[in-house]
Each structure stands twice: as structure tokens, then as C-alpha cells.
A and B are shown apart, each in its own frame.
Chain A
Amino acid sequence: MISMLVSFLIFCVVAAFVIQPLFLEQIPEIVDTESSSAVLKQRKKILYRQIKELDMDYHLGNIQDEDYRHARDDLKKEVSAILMLLNK
């Protein structure tokens, strides 16, 4: 008898918890806070980190002058393009 009662109570609590939003009068707006600008920001962050790593490899002597300049210019171009898109 007690187990039936406890089981019924658990069932009611869970059912109420799950179906409660279905009775909301106003339909809640589901907004993704990380929009397309967040994707660009994330890409920018990754590129900055890559520039830092490239600088570090250069200081460590793992990369030659010419390769370093070439790679850094490419990364900077990518960052500039992203910054332009973000500033639009």
C-alpha cells in the first residue's frame, strides 16, 4: 500500500514537472545566444591563438624568416576579413 502511494506520488511530481511548460499561455521564444557573430568571434580567437603559436615557433627557431612572414601575413589577412565582417 505504501509503495503504491509513494509510486503514485513520484509519478504525479514527474508528470507535473514535464507537462507544466505545455500549459504556458505565452509561447516562450527559444533564442540562441551564440549567433553567427559568435562563430566569427570564435574563429577570430582561434586565429589570434595561431598567430601567437606562430610567433612562438619563430622565437624557438622552428620556422625560417621567410616562411614566418608569409604565414603571419596569411593569418593577418584572415583576421582582417573577420574583423570587417564583425564591424559591419
Chain B
Amino acid sequence: MIPVIGGLALNLALGLAIIAIIFNVLYLRSGDGRLFLSGQRAALAVSLLSIFATIILTQLLMTSNFDVDYVAHYTSQETPLIYKFTALWAGQSGSLLFWLFILSLYAIIAILQNQRSQLKLMPWVMIVLVTVQLFFLILVNFITNPFAPTETDFVIANGLGLNPLLQNATMAIHPPMLYLGFVGFTVPFAFSIAAMAQRDMNALWMRTVRQWLLFVWLMLSIGVMLGGWWAYQELGWGGYWAWDPVENASFMPWLAGTALLHSVMIQEKKDMLKVWNMVLIIITFTLCIFGTFLTRSGIMSSVHSFTASSLGPIFLGFVFFILVVSFGLMSQRMQLLRSKKRIESFSSRESGFLFNNVVFIVMCFAVLWGTLFPVISEAVRGTKITVGAPFFNQINIPIGLVLLCLTGIGPLLVWRKTSKQSFIRNFTTPVIAGLVMALVLYIINIRGYVLISFSLSVFVLTTISLEFARGIRSRITVHKENPLTAFWRLLRKNRSRYGGYIVHVGIVFMFIGFTGHAFDIEKEFGLKKDETNHLGGYTFVLQNIREEERPNHYAWIADLHVSDASGKEIVMLHPEKRIYFHRNPDPERRQPHSELDIYSTMKQDIYSIFNSVDLENGVAYLKIMINPLVNWVWFGGFIFVLGTLVALWPPKKEKL
């Protein structure tokens, strides 16, 4: 009975989505307030029914109702409860329903939050939001229904269970965060389309959009970082970013969104770059849908993607529809979007932002080109050319370093024009600090990108530290505050500015971590009990191989003693070799999996992988990697999130 109700909720939501669009269009033509109210209620009902359907699917997953095909495919009796819940986004139809669920939550908030303040735009906002919902409702109703019954003529006692790679705590948070980011860009997109449709180019809707942007950008950032964390902890290749097509799919909207976040400040403050901002909003949203297409269509080979399906052409059609409608409308409103103001000087904050925007977009298109090249080459020449990490690194490392440099230059530029004197005064100390770092690195025989990256990191950290120091000193002089109070008030009264600086500090720490990759070392070896091997000044002794049976897998555990050159114990590592679904009578269904163990410090990680076990001879085959500075990436991520939260924190109501 319950699956039938879930299916019906989706049917009803689909019908209501069409009704909501019709009512809002009729209201725009007639001005009859009753149609507006009914249209608004229909839009709310679409969201409520979609949420209701998601709750029903979650309940079916939690109670292991194997009559439903999706439940039987992605859970089993042995699947731990938390992973029964995360199975909601583990498969094609469930994840599409989850997309719809988050969009519905956002739609309800956007509609209720702005039902009085943005009434002029709301009919169009609802039309756009519901149109996107309608697209996903068509998918889950007609193409890949999560409530479809299991097609067997016997009772299914147990399901197939969740992929072991997805049975990880990070996987419980990473996809929802990514979705919160991806889906969230629909709201700013809806407001921009509404503003263009209603010829309303004032600053009010931009204020609404800016807060949304910052929030969804934070969610996307957390999602992308958690993806890297998951890959590092779970996939066992020792890295966190492989330029995999699906990783790129989440990175591209992040790049466009970051450019947008910087340039909306210019529109808000200077009433400039309206055309550019519209282009960025459209591109960012389109890249979110395009990213979903890359994951669903099966055209890309990736560890993250779903199997090949018929969804590709439908998604591609929707991307085409968005681009044609959005840019068509934009061309109609070009006169309204053009700003009368011009950038006054090359050495202004405006031009700094614009330059950073251009670099972000160049990077975004480089990633897009590298991601799509295999597909394009296959379509044109019939041969699939693989574009791997070396291509992306070659293109993106220099671009990334330019961005890092701009992170240091930007804060020192002022609106309109930065005078020569202040330019020299503000840049002297950071440039000297960067050059000293470069000289030290050169002396110790470090060259190339590593030298540039570390030197630029010092340059940027010095500029930001000086900015904080000047701000604190100014408050101490003007307001007679002690340094701690001055720091706190400086932050509190200029959240957006100093929150942004904290984000930049986080980015610098992350770059330090990325650069550490240049010093990675690794070794593979087999060890019997009490045998030793060495790597990077450490000694590894296999003390024991234990066996353990757990509810959903069987594990061999290596007890690996690690000591330094002086013989002092550093840590005891316990990497595992697991066999999931070990009780399944069909050996084909059993899945091997290596569970890593990592010893992390700010200096380096000792990364241990249990590749395989030879039970007859009692040999454990291990892979050990020494990865310097990786923790700086995660630490930088925390600082990054903290800075964004500072910028996002709502200010006290200003008295006008």
C-alpha cells in the first residue's frame, strides 16, 4: 500500500506542477489575485507532495521493503541502519527524487520568505522553480520511478545491499551537501529570470540572491571538500582529487559560482557588470544541471557515475532549453542590463574582481574542455581519447597560481582607483616576504611550481595579516580598544570583508597542502609476521594478521607497528582487507574492499593500504604512502568554512 501512495504523491505533484505554471501565467495576464493565490498554493503543494514521496521512500528503505525494486537493489537485511538511510541517494531514481526533495525544500523557503517582499517577481520565480521541479517529476514518474515494484514472481527475502565504497560516514554527508549546493543555485537562477522577465533590475532582488548564493556556495564547497576527503579515506589511491569527470562536474559550478560571488559585489556596490552577472548565474545553474547529466547519462567512465541510462538525451535537452530561454530573454533585455558606469582605473578593486572572474571562467572552461574532450573525440573521430590528471594539472596549476596571487593582490586594491603611493606602501612588505621565501627555497634546491606556490602563499598570508594588523591598530587608535576587543569588533562590524579574508587564508592553507603532493613517496611490499620494511625513515613491522566476522562483511586486519629512525614507536596501524556480502552463496556477488588506516599529522600522513592476503603463507601485501602536508588541505577547508560563516552571519539591523 505504502509504495502505491508514494507513486501517487509523485503523480499528483506532476499534475499540480502544470497547474501551478498555468495559474501563475494566467495571473500575469489578468492580474486576478485569486489566480496568484491558487498558483502559489499549487506550487507549495508540488513541493509538499515531493517531500512526502521522499519520506515514504526513506521509510521503505529503513523497513527493508523488498517489494520495491529500488529498496531491493540498494539495501539488504544486513545493511546498517544509517546506510539504509543513505541508500536514498545511492541509486539513480532515489538520487533524482532526492534532488527533487531538496529543490522542494528550497522552493518552500523561497516562496514563503519572499511572498510579501518580492511580489512583483514571485509569479515568475514560481514558474521557473516549478518548471525545474516538473522536469525532475517527469523523470521520476516516467523514466526511473523509485516506487517501481520488484519484477519477480517470488518473495524476495533479502536485497543486494549497498556498494561497500558507499558504506562510509563521509558518504552520509558528502552527497547531501553537494546536492544542497547544486540544487540551491536554482533559486538565484529563478530570481534572475524573473527580474529579466519583469524588467526589474533594482538592487532589492540582488540582496535576496546574494545571501542565497553565499549559502549554496558554502554547501557546494563543503560537498566538494568532503568528496575529496571521502576519496582520500576510502578509495585507497592516496589522493583526494583525480580530475575524474564527476569530480569535475561538481568543480565547474563551484568555479563559476565563485566568480559570481565576487562579481555580484560590484553590481551591488557599483551597479555595474549586470550583463556579466546574468551570464554567470545562467552558466552556474546550467553547469549544475549539466553536472547532473554527466553523472546520470553514463557517457563518462567514473567511479562515481551511475550506469548508462536513457536519461542522457533528456538532460541534454533540458540544458539546451535552459540556455535558449535564458540567453533569448537576456538578449531581449540587453538595454536594461547595460550599465552606464565604467571601470575608472586598471588598479581598482573593480578591475581586480573582473580579472579574477576572467581567470575563474578560463579555468572552468579548461576543465569543461578536458572533461568533454573524450566524448567529442569519440563523436568526431570515432576514437575515445582519455584525458587524465596530467592534462588538467598542466593547465590548471598555472591558472590556480594566478588565482592565488590575485587572492593577495585583491585586498590591497580600493574601489575606483588605488594610488601609486599606497600601492607601493601596501605591497612592499608582502612582496619582500614572498621573495625571501623564494630565496630560501631556491637555496635548499626547491624549484618550479613548488617554489612559486610556497612563495605566493607567504605573499598572500602577509597581505592578509597586514590587513588585519592595520585594522586592529586603527581601532586601537580611534576607539581606544585593547587588541583582542579591537580584533573582535573589527570582525563583527565588517563581517563580509574580514570573513572573505579568512576564506582566503583557508585557500592559502589548502594550496600549501596541494603543493605537498610534489613530495609524495610510496612503496608496495609483502610482510610475514614479525618481518620489517622501510620507507621515508620509518620502519614497518607486521605484528599480526587477525580475522573478524562482522554483520555485513568479513575482515582480515593487519596490525602494523610503525617506528621512526630512532626506533621510537610512532603508531600502530590497522588496515583491513574486507569481503562484503561474504555470506552470499554466489561468489560473484561477494565484494572485496580495502579499508585504509592513516596516521595524520600536520607534517605528513602515513597512509596504509591492505592490498591482499595470502592465507596459506601468512603474507599481508601492503602499500604504504608518505603524503606530506595533506592535513593542511583539510585544515584549510575548516578555515574556509569558518570564514564563509563569518561572512554569512546576518548583521544587526542597520539604522537608516
Interface residues of A (CB under 8 A from B): 2-3, 6-7, 10-11, 14, 17-22, 24, 27-34, 38-39, 41-46, 48-50, 53-54, 56-57, 59-64, 67, 71
Contact = CB atoms under 8 A, between A and B. Distances in A.
B409 to A, nearest CB: 13
A27 B45 CA distance: 22
Interface string B5-19: 100110010001001
Nearest to A67: B419
Interface string B299-312: 00000000000000
B207 interface: yes
A30 B36 contact: yes
Interface stretch (B421-429, B513-521, B592-600): B421-429
Contacts of A41: 656
Interface in B12-30: 12, 16, 19
A61 B76 CA distance: 65
Interface stretch (B116-124, B608-616, B630-638): B116-124
Contacts of B117: 32-34
B12 A14 contact: yes
Nearest to A57: B414
Q: Which 9 A-B pairs have the closest CB atoms?
A: A21-B37, A28-B33, A3-B1, A32-B119, A39-B202, A59-B474, A60-B470, A3-B4, A64-B419
Interface string B34-62: 11111001100100010000000000000
A41 to B, nearest CB: 6
Given A30-B36, A42-B204, 7 more contacts: A18-B41, A20-B38, A24-B37, A30-B119, A42-B203, A42-B207, A61-B425
B415 interface: yes
A23 to B, nearest CB: 8
B552 interface: no
- Choose among A18, A45, A56 the residue with the greatest number of B CB atoms under 10 Å from its CB: A18
Contacts of B204: 34, 38-39, 42
A22 B38 contact: yes
Contacts of A19: 38
B268 interface: yes
25 contacts: A3-B4, A7-B8, A18-B19, A18-B45, A19-B38, A20-B38, A21-B34, A22-B34, A22-B35, A22-B38, A24-B34, A28-B34, A28-B36, A30-B119, A33-B117, A42-B203, A45-B656, A46-B203, A46-B268, A57-B414, A59-B474, A61-B470, A62-B412, A62-B426, A63-B422
B69 interface: no
Interface of B: 1, 4-5, 8-9, 12, 16, 19, 32-38, 41-42, 45, 49, 116-120, 202-204, 207, 268-269, 412, 414-419, 421-422, 425-426, 467, 470-471, 474, 478, 494, 497, 654, 656
A87 to B, nearest CB: 13
A54 B381 CA distance: 57
A50 B119 contact: no
Given A17-B41, A22-B38, A10 B418 contact: no
A80 to B, nearest CB: 15
Given A33-B117, A42-B204, A67-B417, A60 B16 contact: no
B33 A27 contact: yes
A56 B494 CA distance: 10
Contacts of B8: 7, 10-11
A45 B651 CA distance: 13
A71 B415 contact: yes
A85 to B, nearest CB: 14
A59 B120 CA distance: 42
Contacts of B471: 56, 60
Nearest to A41: B656
Interface SS, A side = helix
Contacts of A48: 654, 656
Contacts of A31: 119
A17 B478 CA distance: 59
Contacts of A54: 414-415
A39 B38 CA distance: 28
Contact of A10 (B12, B416, B654): B12
Contacts of A46: 203, 268-269
Nearest to B474: A59
Contacts of A28: 33-34, 36-37
Nearest to A34: B117
B32 A27 contact: yes
B263 to A, nearest CB: 16
B299 to A, nearest CB: 38
B317 to A, nearest CB: 29
A21 to B, nearest CB: 4
A16 B470 CA distance: 62
A6 to B, nearest CB: 6
Contacts of B203: 39, 42-43, 46
Contacts of A45: 654, 656
A58 to B, nearest CB: 9
A71 B49 contact: no
B5 A10 contact: yes
Contacts of B268: 46
Nearest to B203: A42
Contact of A61 (B35, B45, B416, B422): B422
Contacts of B41: 17-18, 20-21
Contacts of A7: 4-5, 8
A7 B426 CA distance: 69
Contacts of B467: 60
Contacts of A62: 412, 414, 418, 422, 426
Contacts of B16: 14, 18
A56 B42 CA distance: 49
A41 B203 CA distance: 10
Given A46-B269, A56-B494, A63 B36 contact: no
Contacts of B207: 42
Nearest to A86: B656
